[in-house]
């Protein structure tokens, strides 16, 4: 019997998102206290995804405890901790990174940093398995900018290929794939027609957002492929290196908007 337990955390948005994944070749071997909320073959996932705003840090560990109770598992069963590394809220990224590191240190297990943009791409596949393999993930980065990345799902390998890593650009500057693609993420809702990818996409999935369920599934594949890091090497992927404009930048932007 092969059994893998993986905990996934994401606080990159206003949601506190936690998932507990069990991949078990003999699923009848355990009797969970509550029905799993996602199941595919030998993989079951329990999750909490709650709008917590700025207090995700206070909800994160209680949600973790609740999931282990639901699954009838113990924290010591974990083989790895996956977390949403970013991009996203700076404070949220630091929260998820710190909790993942702390739990991993205590358990002596590796961590799996997962791009929140890749979680959007995986979420689009979960929402509709028939989507084109090419996914352009784009999230509202505030300050009139977009976080984006370009992915392609390799059905033979059963995993994603990153064609362009996480980047930050103005809505109109995103390069468009030259093949049918899905646009995943909330940038479509945030920018509408100002985002050319909305009109160009074969499908737009505004509901494919950072979430611990797709993050856990990505984390399992990464764990099996050996793509993990030691807890001390876990770090957020901010992409943007500043969170606020200077006074001069704000005044210049205001003047340009008036023209």
Confidence of residue 24 (pLDDT cuts 50, 70, 90): confident
Q: If pLDDT is split at 50, 70 and 90, which confidence band does 255 have?
A: low
Give the pLDDT mean for 61-84: 96
In this prediction, residue 66 carries a pLDDT of 95
- Predicted pLDDT of residue 30: 53
Averaged pLDDT, 100-117:
98
What pLDDT does residue 251 have? 45
Output the pLDDT for position 63. 96
Superfamily of domain 117-205: ATPase, nucleotide binding domain (3.30.420.40)
- Dig out the tokens for 46 from the structure: 């329990």
Q: What is the mean pLDDT of residues 18-38?
A: 74
- For 71, the enclosing helix (H) or strand (E) is helix 56-71
DSSP classification of residue 49: E
Q: Does position 247 have pLDDT exceeding 70, yes or no?
A: no
Kindly report the average pLDDT of the chain as a whole number: 91
Q: In a 10 Å sphere around its CB, with 0-12 CB exposed, 13-18 middle and 19+ buried, how is residue 176 labelled?
A: middle
Contact indicator for 12, 29 with CB cutoff of 8 Å: no
Per-residue pLDDT tens over the stretch 158-212: 999 999 999 999 999 999 999 999 999 999 999 999 999 999 999 999 999 999 9
pLDDT at 31: 53
Domain extents for the chain? 3-115+210-233, 117-205
Which residues pair with residue 83 across a beta bridge?
Answer: 9, 113
Average pLDDT for 120-145: 96
* Residue 237 tokens, joined: 């992927």
The domains spanning 3-115+210-233 and 117-205 adopt the same CATH topology: yes
Residue 169: both structure tokens together: 């650009």
pLDDT of residue 35: 56
In this prediction, residue 245 carries a pLDDT of: 43
Q: Which two three-digit tokens encode residue 134? A: 């090419």
Most confident of 128-132, 173-177, 239-243: 173-177
Q: What is the pLDDT of residue 85?
A: 98
> Average pLDDT, stretch 86-100?
97
Indicate if the pLDDT at residue 96 is higher than 70.
yes
Mean pLDDT, rounded, for 13-20: 97
Segment 76-85 mean pLDDT: 98
Q: Give the residue among 83, 97, 125 at the shortest CA–CA distance from 223.
A: 83
Query: Which CATH architecture is the domain 3-115+210-233 placed in?
Result: 2-Layer Sandwich (3.30)
The DSSP-derived string for 167-185 is: EEE-GGGPPPPSS--EEES
């Amino acid at each position: 019997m092969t059994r893998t337990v993986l905990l996934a955390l994401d606080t990159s948005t206003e949601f506190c998102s936690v998932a507990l994944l069990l991949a078990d070749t003999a699923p009848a071997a355990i009797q969970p206290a509550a029905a799993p909320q996602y199941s595919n073959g030998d993989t079951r996932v329990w999750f909490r995804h709650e709008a917590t705003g700025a207090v995700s840090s206070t909800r994160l560990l209680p949600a973790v405890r609740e999931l282990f109770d639901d699954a009838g598992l113990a924290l010591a069963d974990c083989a790895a901790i996956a977390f949403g590394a970013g991009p996203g809220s700076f404070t949220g990224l630091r929260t998820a990174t710190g909790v993942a590191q702390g739990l991993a240190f205590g358990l002596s297990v590796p961590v799996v940093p997962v791009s929140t943009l890749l979680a959007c791409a995986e979420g689009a596949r979960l929402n509709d398995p028939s989507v084109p393999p090419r996914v352009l993930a784009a999230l509202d980065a505030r300050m009139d900018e977009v976080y984006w990345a370009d992915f392609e799902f390799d059905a033979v390998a059963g995993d994603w290929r990153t064609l362009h890593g996480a980047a930050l650009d103005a809505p109109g500057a995103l390069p468009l794939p030259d093949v049918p693609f899905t646009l995943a993420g909330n940038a479509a809702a945030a920018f509408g027609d100002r985002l050319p990818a909305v009109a160009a996409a074969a499908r737009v999935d505004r509901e494919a957002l950072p979430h611990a369920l797709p993050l856990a599934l990505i984390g399992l594949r990464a764990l099996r492929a050996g793509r993990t890091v030691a807890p001390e090497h876990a770090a957020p992927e901010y992409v943007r290196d500043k969170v606020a404009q200077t006074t001069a930048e704000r005044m210049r932007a205001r003047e340009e908007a008036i023209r």
